[in-house]
Chains A and B, each alone.
Chain A
Amino acid sequence: MVLAGWRARPGRGLGRCACVLAVLCCAGAARADDGYLARLATAVRSQLDDAAASHAVRLVPPVPVAVKWKPQKLGALDLGAPLVAVAAADLDGDGKAEVYLVTSLEVIAVATAGRRIRTLGRVAFGGDPAVPASRDPVGTAVVDGNAVIAATSAWAHDLRVEWNRGVLSARQGPGGFVVCGDRLALVPGRNHFREAGAALLGARCRSDLTDAAGAPLRIRAELALSGALEVVIERCAAAGTECRQAASYQYKDVGVAFELADVDRDGTPELIASSASAPGEPDAVRVIPLGSPAGKAAFKKTFNGGVAGIVVADGDGDGVAEVIAVVRLAGATRVDFWRLD
């Protein structure tokens, strides 16, 4: 029997699957009325349990870091068009995350390390303008592997933005807005999505965080038109499978700029959110450990302008992610960058 001599070893996951498939193929050819299949299934289950036990993924608890909240203005930049979305990641491989600013015209990569904001590259949207667009441009920016998928309601096609030999480049995507792995469409001519009958302003998903014990978490936060943010947390088995809902929270009056992160790495993810009032008016960023009441924010910073984007990324390459807020006045194309910790 194929399974008899098989021992699970680290890095042999694919091999294990192949073995199981082989067994099932053989079983299909056997007679079904002599109990052979039942015995085979039991043997397979047993072997797999043994293999899983010997192959258990070790939980790695996060190592807390001391966060000092000390807001600091990094600089300002005139983007030339309204900012619609922000993302951050180290896509150029220099060990420091870049911030990707999506406007209604282009995607602009900037570096936030050092004493000033530095533009690294720009790529423009192109092709057909979206018809209908939304009255005020809206957009999304999502990191996907080594690229940023950027979309705005002003253009029919999204952009896949990446670095090629030190040059920021882009190619057109199929259109739509990547939201938590799905491609959504705006309600025609409007500034929100509709998914499964519910109207959404946006959503964030994280599957790379763990709880304090190191168990993988899956978090999904959906922002309704009312400004209510529904956050659902699933805790998963060590291998990231068998996820079960562990908690859900609702926060009211959340603005469209929000992010999920475990800034202090204590295993309790935080919601970092702007507030929901008229666009461009004075705003605030609050950092709230998920589960805490909104009034018990770990940190709060008010701004004279509206918070148009929040990212959490290691912009200075010190191994610890910072919270960066992008702030603007109503109708302005000039934005200020604030590092909050």
Chain B
Amino acid sequence: MRIVNAVIAVAWLAAPARAETRPQYGGTVEAALLGAPVTLDPVAAQSHAEVTVVGLVFDTLYTVGPDGAEPHLAVGPPSLDAARTTAHIALRRGVKFHDQSVMVAADVVDSLERVRKKVAWLLAPIASVRAAGDGIDLALRVPGVDVAPLLALPQTAITRRGQPPGARPVGSGPFAVDSFDREARRLVLKAFDDHFAGRPYLHRLDLGWFDTPDGEARRFETGAAQLSARGAAAFAGASPKYAASHVDGPTAVLVFVGFGRRHPVVTSEPAFRQALDLALDRAALSTVTSGERTVPARLPLPIEAGGAELDAASQAGNPQQALAVLRAAGAHSGALAPAGLAHLSLAIIVDQTRPDDREIALRVSRGLARLGIGFTIEAVAADALRDRVQRGDCDLWIGQLAAPIRVAAAWWGAAFAAGGDDWAARQLAAGPIDPATAAPEFTRKLPIVPLMFRSLVVWHRNDVHGLGFDTSSRPGLADLYWFPKAPP
């Protein structure tokens, strides 16, 4: 061999290089949430936007993957004692919060106890939580119950000392909150170097939200944002400035109608809710989309969790039957009698930062019109909507739930709870929820009226890689990276 003592710089001369190296670190990505997050407190998280942010800033003991619950802060699955009434969960050691304090079992105990107090249904199978050995012990109300899927829900995320996060939340998640400006509609997250599961590839994540249908797509089209969940361009046929592709998530976001207490004699009446449920044209509702898949639904259960697919007739609704139900009820209740309904106008409130919800409210209002009921639609700020819903200061509201698509207990629990009904909590405290019991109970009461499940279609610049979704249709923003390099 003839070797010369020289440095020779050589490069691939063939076609552009393709494939296997490792993601690089750096850069910022601007993306949008599906709406304004009202709160960053895990236990209060409800909307898709909130559970997305909670997943970025906080960690849970488990996550739900394609094959079920997977350990996250936990070292392994819960281990049961001989009587199967105590589940022990070993915790990872050395996990740090954003303030550099080390997570200890007491943080987990306090966080889960707070969940038990604030979201009764969620940990209903658990009687108590205490620190034990290398982790925690859960006293189970139902011997042998699998609590791991419930401990994967974002509401069970661990906070420092179990305290509600303040203005600048301290979690242990892959990103720390850098700034949260509600007026500017911007939440800026920065990478947490010490995240136990690895530092995110991006340095920063700029999250915004919009009150116009095309605001997000326009920003993506012009190249100002790198991700968009509302299309690649503001106008059909237009192309974004940078080459782009899209990724489709699971249909794990439930859009529903909730009920307030402005006219309780009407909206609390099961017959009214059943009539509205029958009067809705869900086939028309499911066309409210900017490209994402929609699956009309009358139960709060995705097909993947055992829900039923609606046939065409069920999707179209049955206005005659709806009117019949209402008339029958009107015979016993003056408020539901035709004379009473003729002068009734129900207020539907929607979150103004979820422009799709306005379209959805319009289609819901057509259902009310079929019943001969007047309506108004009011778009309000996200926090105002949350406040008015809690006070009951509306008649109908358009809501959102996001949960792991295959975890039926989470869907039943969240749906009943969203309607202020504790049936699911009582069931979960006694054992697994039986769908054969839950479905008729839900249909009889209709604590909320499910409209459809929807997915997320997220467009991304082709030089932003790593985009995927979890089973709750939350985009995995912590795994994003620029390739080959982030713009300077």
Residues of A with Cβ closer than 8 Å to B? 128-129, 131-136, 138, 153, 188-192, 201, 211-213, 225, 227, 233, 235, 245-253, 255-257, 266-268, 274-284, 286, 291-295, 300, 302-303, 305-308, 331
B10/A283 in contact, CB under 8 A: no
Known contacts A136-B198, A188-B194; A251 and B10 CB within 8 A of each other: yes
A135/B483 in contact, CB under 8 A: no
Which partner residue on chain A sits nearest B200 by CB separation?
A: A135
B198/A189 in contact, CB under 8 A: yes
- Which one of B17, B22, B199, B483 contacts A253 once the chains associate, using CB atoms below 8 Å? B17
Which partner residue on chain A sits nearest B479 by CB separation?
A: A135
Q: Please report the total number of B residues contacting A with Cβ < 8 Å.
A: 44
Q: Known pairs A227-B21, A280-B19, A305-B19. 17 more at Cβ < 8 A?
A: A128-B75, A128-B92, A135-B23, A135-B199, A136-B22, A188-B193, A189-B193, A190-B199, A247-B5, A247-B6, A251-B11, A255-B21, A274-B20, A276-B21, A281-B19, A282-B18, A283-B18
> Which one of B9, B22, B199 has the greatest number of beta carbons of chain A within 10 Å?
B22
- For B1-17 the 0/1 string (1 means CB < 8 A from A) is 10111111111111011
Nearest Cβ on chain B to A15's Cβ, whole angstroms: 35
A129/B20 in contact, CB under 8 A: no
A/B interface sample: 11 pairs, CB < 8 A? A131-B196, A132-B198, A138-B22, A189-B198, A191-B198, A212-B1, A245-B5, A251-B12, A281-B19, A286-B12, A307-B20
With a cutoff of 8 Å between Cβ atoms, the chain A residues found around residue B197 in the complex are 132-133, 135
Residues of B with Cβ closer than 8 Å to A? 1, 3-14, 16-25, 75, 92-95, 174, 193-201, 465, 468, 478-479, 483-484
Which are the 10 A-B pairs with shortest beta-carbon distances?
A295-B13, A283-B19, A135-B198, A306-B20, A189-B199, A131-B94, A275-B17, A267-B1, A211-B1, A276-B21
With a cutoff of 8 Å between Cβ atoms, the chain B residues found around residue A282 in the complex are 18-19
With a cutoff of 8 Å between Cβ atoms, the chain A residues found around residue B94 in the complex are 131-132
A132/B195 in contact, CB under 8 A: yes
With a cutoff of 8 Å between Cβ atoms, the chain B residues found around residue A249 in the complex are 7-10
A278/B19 in contact, CB under 8 A: yes
- Which one of A201, A251, A267, A277 contacts B18 once the chains associate, using CB atoms below 8 Å? A277
A281/B18 in contact, CB under 8 A: yes
Nearest Cβ on chain B to A183's Cβ, whole angstroms: 20
Which partner residue on chain A sits nearest B462 by CB separation?
A: A278
> Which one of B17, B196, B197, B478 has the greatest number of beta carbons of chain A within 10 Å?
B17
CA distance A293 to B9 in the complex (A): 8
A284/B10 in contact, CB under 8 A: no
B3/A275 in contact, CB under 8 A: no
- Which one of B4, B21, B23 contacts A247 once the chains associate, using CB atoms below 8 Å? B4
A135/B1 in contact, CB under 8 A: no
CA distance A323 to B24 in the complex (A): 28
CA distance A277 to B72 in the complex (A): 29
CA distance A128 to B1 in the complex (A): 48
> Which one of A192, A251, A277, A302 has the greatest number of beta carbons of chain B within 10 Å?
A277
Nearest Cβ on chain B to A270's Cβ, whole angstroms: 11
With a cutoff of 8 Å between Cβ atoms, the chain A residues found around residue B92 in the complex are 128-129, 131
A275/B12 in contact, CB under 8 A: yes
CA distance A287 to B6 in the complex (A): 21
With a cutoff of 8 Å between Cβ atoms, the chain B residues found around residue A256 in the complex are 20-22
Say what secondary structure dominates the interface of chain A.
loop
CA distance A293 to B344 in the complex (A): 82
With a cutoff of 8 Å between Cβ atoms, the chain A residues found around residue B200 in the complex are 135
CA distance A303 to B479 in the complex (A): 25
> Which one of B6, B197, B483 has the greatest number of beta carbons of chain A within 10 Å?
B197
Which partner residue on chain B sits nearest A327 by CB separation?
A: B20
With a cutoff of 8 Å between Cβ atoms, the chain A residues found around residue B7 in the complex are 248-250
- Which one of B3, B19, B198 contacts A307 once the chains associate, using CB atoms below 8 Å? B19
A268/B22 in contact, CB under 8 A: no
Which partner residue on chain A sits nearest B7 by CB separation?
A: A248
Which partner residue on chain B sits nearest A235 by CB separation?
A: B3
B193/A275 in contact, CB under 8 A: no
CA distance A307 to B174 in the complex (A): 28
A252/B21 in contact, CB under 8 A: no
> Which one of A131, A133, A233 has the greatest number of beta carbons of chain B within 10 Å?
A131
With a cutoff of 8 Å between Cβ atoms, the chain B residues found around residue A274 in the complex are 19-21
CA distance A253 to B478 in the complex (A): 25
B21/A132 in contact, CB under 8 A: no
> Which one of B3, B6, B75 has the greatest number of beta carbons of chain A within 10 Å?
B3
Nearest Cβ on chain B to A292's Cβ, whole angstroms: 8
With a cutoff of 8 Å between Cβ atoms, the chain B residues found around residue A295 in the complex are 10-14
With a cutoff of 8 Å between Cβ atoms, the chain A residues found around residue B483 in the complex are 277-278
B25/A190 in contact, CB under 8 A: yes
Which partner residue on chain A sits nearest B9 by CB separation?
A: A250
B24/A225 in contact, CB under 8 A: yes
B20/A257 in contact, CB under 8 A: yes
CA distance A256 to B20 in the complex (A): 7
B194/A189 in contact, CB under 8 A: yes
Nearest Cβ on chain B to A206's Cβ, whole angstroms: 14
With a cutoff of 8 Å between Cβ atoms, the chain B residues found around residue A251 in the complex are 10-12
B465/A278 in contact, CB under 8 A: yes
CA distance A62 to B87 in the complex (A): 63
A294/B10 in contact, CB under 8 A: yes
Nearest Cβ on chain A to B96's Cβ, whole angstroms: 8
CA distance A232 to B137 in the complex (A): 56
Nearest Cβ on chain A to B248's Cβ, whole angstroms: 15
CA distance A69 to B18 in the complex (A): 21
With a cutoff of 8 Å between Cβ atoms, the chain A residues found around residue B10 in the complex are 249-252, 292-295
With a cutoff of 8 Å between Cβ atoms, the chain A residues found around residue B194 in the complex are 132, 188-189
A191/B1 in contact, CB under 8 A: no
Which partner residue on chain A sits nearest B95 by CB separation?
A: A131
CA distance A218 to B84 in the complex (A): 60
CA distance A236 to B9 in the complex (A): 24
With a cutoff of 8 Å between Cβ atoms, the chain A residues found around residue B193 in the complex are 188-189
With a cutoff of 8 Å between Cβ atoms, the chain B residues found around residue A283 in the complex are 18-20
Which partner residue on chain B sits nearest A284 by CB separation?
A: B18
Which partner residue on chain B sits nearest A227 by CB separation?
A: B21
B19/A189 in contact, CB under 8 A: no
CA distance A251 to B6 in the complex (A): 14
CA distance A211 to B1 in the complex (A): 5
B198/A246 in contact, CB under 8 A: no
B18/A134 in contact, CB under 8 A: no
- Which one of A212, A253, A305 contacts B11 once the chains associate, using CB atoms below 8 Å? A253
CA distance A247 to B4 in the complex (A): 6
A247/B3 in contact, CB under 8 A: yes
- Which one of A189, A211, A276, A305 contacts B195 once the chains associate, using CB atoms below 8 Å? A189
Known contacts A131-B94, A132-B194, A134-B198; A246 and B5 CB within 8 A of each other: yes
With a cutoff of 8 Å between Cβ atoms, the chain B residues found around residue A213 in the complex are 1
> Which one of B8, B21, B199 has the greatest number of beta carbons of chain A within 10 Å?
B21
With a cutoff of 8 Å between Cβ atoms, the chain B residues found around residue A153 in the complex are 198
Which partner residue on chain A sits nearest B481 by CB separation?
A: A278
With a cutoff of 8 Å between Cβ atoms, the chain A residues found around residue B17 in the complex are 227, 253, 275-277, 284
